[in-house]
């Protein structure tokens, strides 16, 4: 069962009587049947979603209901313009968020099927809000009725975007909470997750949602503890709540002993975080004296500022697609140069690793027409997309070369499978003026074929960075966004570790092996990764201090790599 461990450990340390069913004391509720009989003080398990411990009064997220007023259409031309303005405003709002999370939402704003229905309804005499709410409601309903849990999950994306645009149309505020505490919601939208004040929110409990939803990814990136799929009872506003996002436990109205221990754990975690941040500026070196660069994965100038405040040694991954998505045309070279330089500046001039455009497949660019694909994750993605759209690629490389003349830069090609692709990409780089002192060139290793033949890439690269998010999905044949496969795709799988070991063995000396997928942020995986030969890690900005500490705790000698089978 999810949601065991934390309270028992905490309570067990000081007095087992508080977890064994004494009236009014904390005890566990495991099944849904038991939940129905939940009483204050019981620990009700949800699904762990974002780590951390939080304590505070319950605060329900309140949203003014979207009620479409009954009114006459002001004519198709006016209603069409109203709709277009609202879509543009929502596009700007979403575009300001973290690009890689919100790209699915941006794509929905351009969804042909939804928009065709909206324009049809407006032409038939509906107002813009009537047309939008009816069309998106129908599509969301279709998703909700599907058997496939992944597709049902995408229905949440439709609902979130539908809500966001409807609020713009009707001038309604986004969902909000009053006061500090633990936020309860049926399900947060990503925009709501991004809008929460991390200094005031002790944690989030969602009655629905999933550990792989976009809102959850945002909460994790912002360091807010969260539990999803919480089956507990109604909770009165202001009731004290304790939660542990690592175990899924939520204790409503905990008895004083349990509350105190949660508060102690939360305070200890905060103190630990403060201490980690205080020493994060120093280099991370293992007990045996092995230096390890710990960088940040950034998607915007704001992320880069957070990374600098958390002591990142570099940006180990800049997801440049954030600049290309959610607009009608590609940014020109000057705009790219200006944004990349701003990221470098926000990082105090530390090295930035600019990953070339990683779009295609599941992340289409509205202004680059692409054939429909049956299996987008196995389609024209990453470097394949760039090589198929040379002008776009060449312009990006010209911008990267220009930036490299002014600040330390690495360029990194995503989704490389064959040496031929790398050679072709390097040729475009050369044509863009790529011989600049200090410009390092590397590839992401995300495809098992590239991992197993890493030696063949060595002559052409200064570094490789293992993208464990994609490498895991391709190794386990388990799509990374599918909540039904979270147990597979989220695992620290021995096959993936073997592949990382193969990369380290194959690549030889002189070429740095980095890891920039989510696995790098798992402190318990760090000793094993370093034992395999990884020497650079890049993680979400708030995780940098904890990962540096994990490096410092690594034993001497480092764990020996497991022998290949
Ligand atoms: C990865 O695949 O591990 C990675 C870091 O790239 P992204 O998550 O952007 O696909
Ligand atoms: Mg990837």
Kind and range of the H or E run holding 297: strand 291-298
Q: Is 353 touching ligand 1 by the criterion CB < 6 Å? A: no
Rounded Cα–Cα distance for residues 316 and 307 (Å): 11
DSSP state of 453: T
Distance 438 CA to ligand 2 centre (A): 25
Dihedral, CA of residue 473, residue 474, residue 475 and residue 480, to nearest 10:
0
Domains of the chain by residue range: 13-62+176-255+265-271, 64-170, 283-443+452-465+512-552
321 touches ligand 1 (CB under 6 Å): no
- Give the DSSP per-residue string, 462-513: SEEEE-HHHHHHHHHT--TT-GGGHHHHTS--HHHHHHHHHHHHHH-TTSEE
- Could you say which architecture CATH assigns to the domain 283-443+452-465+512-552? Alpha-Beta Barrel (3.20)
Distance, CA of 485 to CA of 491 (rounded, Å): 10
Q: Ligand 1 centre from 322 Cα, in Å? A: 13
The pLDDT profile of the chain, 565 residues, written as one tens digit per residue, is 222 222 222 222 222 222 222 222 233 333 333 333 344 667 778 888 888 899 999 999 987 778 888 889 999 999 999 999 999 888 877 765 554 456 667 777 878 888 999 999 999 999 999 999 999 998 888 877 877 666 666 777 788 888 889 988 988 777 777 778 999 998 888 778 878 888 899 999 999 887 767 688 788 878 899 999 899 888 999 999 999 998 899 999 999 999 999 999 888 988 988 999 999 999 999 999 999 999 999 988 988 999 999 999 999 999 998 888 777 789 999 999 999 999 999 999 999 999 999 988 667 787 888 888 888 889 999 999 999 999 999 999 999 999 999 999 999 999 999 999 999 999 999 999 988 999 999 999 999 999 999 999 999 999 999 999 899 999 999 887 666 676 776 667 899 999 999 999 999 888 999 999 989 988 889 999 999 999 999 998 988 999 999 999 999 999 998 755 5
CA distance 117 to 134: 9
Please tell us whether the domain made up of 64-170 is placed in CATH 2.60.120.590: no
297 phi and psi angles, rounded to 5 deg:
-90, 120
Give the residue ranges of DSSP H helices in 48-189. 76-95, 99-109, 112-123, 128-144, 149-170
Task: Please tell me the number of the ligand nearest to residue 540's CA.
Answer: 1
Nearest atom, ligand 1, residue 470 CA? 2
Q: Which residues of 394-415 are buried (b: 16+ CB within 10 A; e: fewer)?
A: bbbbbbbbbbbeebbbbbbbbb
d(CA 539, CA 317): 9
Residue 516 Cβ < 6 Å to ligand 1 = yes
Residue bearing the CA closest to ligand 1, atom 4: 467
Two tokens, residue 250: 């939520």
Ligand 1 nearest-atom number relative to CA 414: 6
Contacts of 168 (CB under 8 A, 6+ apart): 86, 89, 90, 93
Q: Write down the residue that tokens 């958390």 correspond to.
A: 310
Alpha-carbon distances, residue 191 vs 58, 176, 544 (angstroms): 21, 11, 24
Ligand 1 in contact with 467 (CB < 6 A)?
Answer: yes
> Atom 3, ligand 1: which residue's CA is nearest?
467
Atom of ligand 1 nearest to the CA of 469: 3
Note the pLDDT tens digit of each residue in 335-347: 999 999 999 999 9
Torsion 111-112-117-119 (CA) sign: positive
* Per annotation, catalytic residue among 105, 214, 385, 389: 214
Report the nearest-CA residue for atom 6 of ligand 1.
467
- Is the domain spanning 13-62+176-255+265-271 CATH 3.50.30.10? The answer is yes
**Whole-angstrom Cα distance, residue 383 to residue 371?**
17
Active site residue 214: yes
Q: Which of 385, 389, 516, 554 is catalytic?
A: 516
Q: Is the CB of 468 under 6 A from ligand 1?
A: yes
| Known catalytic residue at 504 | no
């Amino acid at each position: 069962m999810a949601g065991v461990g934390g309270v028992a450990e905490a309570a067990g340390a000081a007095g087992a009587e508080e977890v064994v069913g004494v009236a009014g004391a904390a005890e566990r509720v495991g099944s849904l049947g038991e939940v129905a009989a939940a009483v204050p003080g019981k620990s009700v398990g949800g699904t762990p979603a974002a780590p951390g411990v939080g304590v505070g009064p319950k605060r329900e997220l309140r949203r003014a209901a979207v009620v479409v007023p009954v009114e006459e259409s002001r004519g198709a031309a006016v209603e069409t313009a109203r709709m277009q303005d609202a879509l543009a405003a929502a596009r700007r709002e979403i575009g300001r968020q973290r690009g890689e999370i919100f790209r699915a939402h941006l794509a929905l704003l351009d969804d042909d099927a939804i928009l065709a229905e909206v324009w049809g309804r407006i032409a038939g005499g509906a107002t813009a809000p009537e047309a939008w709410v009816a069309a998106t409601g129908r599509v969301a309903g279709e998703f909700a009725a599907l058997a496939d849990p992944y597709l049902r999950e995408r229905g949440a994306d439709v609902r979130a975007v539908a809500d966001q645009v409807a609020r713009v149309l009707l001038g309604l505020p986004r969902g909000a909470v009053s006061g500090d505490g633990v936020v309860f919601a049926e399900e947060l939208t990503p925009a709501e997750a991004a809008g929460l004040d991390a200094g005031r929110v002790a944690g989030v409990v969602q009655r629905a949602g999933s550990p792989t939803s976009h809102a959850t990814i945002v909460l994790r990136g912002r360091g807010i503890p969260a539990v999803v799929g919480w089956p507990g009872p109604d909770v009165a506003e202001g009731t004290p709540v304790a939660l542990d996002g690592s175990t899924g436990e939520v204790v409503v109205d905990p008895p004083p002993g349990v509350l105190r221990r949660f508060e102690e754990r939360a305070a200890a975690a905060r103190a630990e975080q403060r201490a980690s941040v205080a020493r994060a500026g120093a280099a991370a070196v293992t007990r045996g004296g092995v230096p390890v660069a710990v960088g940040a994965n950034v998607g915007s100038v704001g992320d880069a500022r957070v990374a600098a405040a958390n002591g990142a040694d570099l940006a180990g991954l800049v997801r440049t697609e954030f600049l290309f998505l959610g607009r009608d045309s590609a940014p020109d070279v000057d705009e790219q140069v200006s944004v990349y330089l701003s990221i470098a500046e926000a990082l105090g001039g530390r090295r930035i690793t600019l990953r070339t455009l990683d779009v295609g497949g599941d992340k289409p660019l509205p202004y680059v027409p692409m054939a429909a694909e049956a299996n987008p994750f196995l389609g024209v993605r990453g470097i394949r997309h760039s090589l198929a759209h040379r002008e776009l690629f060449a312009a990006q490389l010209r911008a990267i070369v220009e930036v490299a003349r002014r600040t330390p830069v690495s360029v990194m090609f995503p989704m490389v499978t064959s040496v031929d692709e790398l050679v072709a990409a390097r040729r475009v780089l050369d044509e863009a003026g790529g011989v600049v002192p200090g410009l390092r060139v590397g590839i992401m290793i995300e495809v098992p074929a590239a991992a197993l033949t890493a030696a063949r890439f060595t002559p052409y690269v200064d570094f490789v960075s293992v993208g464990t998010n994609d490498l895991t999905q391709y190794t386990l044949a388990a799509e990374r966004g599918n909540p039904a496969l979270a147990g597979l795709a989220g695992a620290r799988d021995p096959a993936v570790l073997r592949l990382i070991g193969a990369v380290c063995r194959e690549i030889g000396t002189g070429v740095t092996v980095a890891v920039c997928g989510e696995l790098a942020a798992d402190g318990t995986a760090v000793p094993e990764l370093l034992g395999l030969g990884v020497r650079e890690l890049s993680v979400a900005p708030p995780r940098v201090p904890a990962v540096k500490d994990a490096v410092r705790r690594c034993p001497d000698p480092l764990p020996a790599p497991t022998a290949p089978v």
